[in-house]
Amino acid sequence: MMNSKHNAFGQKAWAGPQSFLAIVAAFTCLGLYGGCVNAQDNKAESKTDTKTTEKKYEDLDPNNFGRSTQIDNEWMPMKPGTRFVYEGTSIEDDGEALPHRVEINVTDLTKVIAGIRTVVSWDLDYSDNELVEAELAFFAQDNDGNVWRMGEYPEEYDEGKLVDNPAWIHGIAEARAGIMMPARPQLGTPSYAQGWAPAVAWTDRGKVDQMGLKATVPAGSYEDVLVIAETSQSEPDALQLKHYARRVGNVRVGWRGAGEKTKETLELVKVEQLGPEAVAEVRAEALKLEKSAYKNSKEVYAHTPPVEHTPGSEGR
């Protein structure tokens, strides 16, 4: 039996040689594409460390996304045609260390979710050199500069066979989007919801943990590094630490706390801008995965409009 937990990239992972990317969600009060928030459901919780309140989930305003696909947040830029490659290990419950490799591909495809046009990423996760998950994820930046995760479609594999596809899309089946990177992260500010999805036990939150650090990884050496600490209701004593470099993005993933079941460490080994042929290959694979999504996710993904190709976006 697989034991679920959340992985280093703020998605749901499996303790064992299973998936590494996938599942974030939230909660809405409208139908398929609603954005209404019920204030009573979104009760604030008092936090003594910040002397303020924190929402159970974030309030998304579709009218606040004038240039939603231009994701130029300095801590999490997502230029179409960019590929991020991470390598590291995870130590499983039995003490075995497994090699991990994750590829994040920012495509030149977009998808409209809740009236907001999003950027599509196509992500691959390899555990012990075996593909255990492929995923489409959808991001948008609001007018204030916050980067939102609007939904995702993951496929989890075991020995090449599809074993699960826990999709979520904002506005469908009580899912609400979450903030993946604040516009202006600062120490001492309240934590923020990275999504809220009771149906899949997604309760992850992010909080600015450290600033001004240095980090050296295979891809380079960086200064003034930001660290976001992520936790969840199911593992309150476990923190995943994501290190972000300005104008690059996530460069390292680590952990802190005795509650972490699977201890994962990843480092950025390469970030590159793909050429036209490679971009076309990524696009084709992403479209192939979407075709599978419409076939296998009748309750969620089948209710969304198809992705669209945006020629020339990779050159922005």
122: nearest Cα among 141, 140, 109: 109
Q: Model's pTM, two decimal places?
A: 0.83
Question: Is pLDDT larger for residue 154 or for residue 16?
Answer: 154
Averaged pLDDT for residues 278-291: 98
Question: Quick check: 137 pLDDT over 50?
Answer: yes
Of the candidate ranges 27-41, 67-81, 107-121, the one whose mean pLDDT is the lowest? 27-41
| 52-109 pLDDT per residue, tens | 577 888 999 999 999 999 999 999 999 999 999 999 998 776 778 899 999 999 999 9
Its sign, for the CA torsion 38, 181, 285, 311, is positive
Q: Tell me, what's the pLDDT at 229?
A: 94
- Dist. CA 181–CA 195, nearest whole Å: 12
Binned at pLDDT 50, 70 and 90, residue 261 comes out as low
Q: Tell me, what's the pLDDT at 51?
A: 41
Binned at pLDDT 50, 70 and 90, residue 45 comes out as very low
- Dist. CA 174–CA 31, nearest whole Å: 8
| 155-206 pLDDT per residue, tens | 999 999 999 998 989 998 888 999 999 999 999 999 998 887 777 777 788 9
Binned at pLDDT 50, 70 and 90, residue 315 comes out as low
Question: Quick check: 17 pLDDT over 60?
Answer: no
Pairing of strands 147-158, 178-181: antiparallel
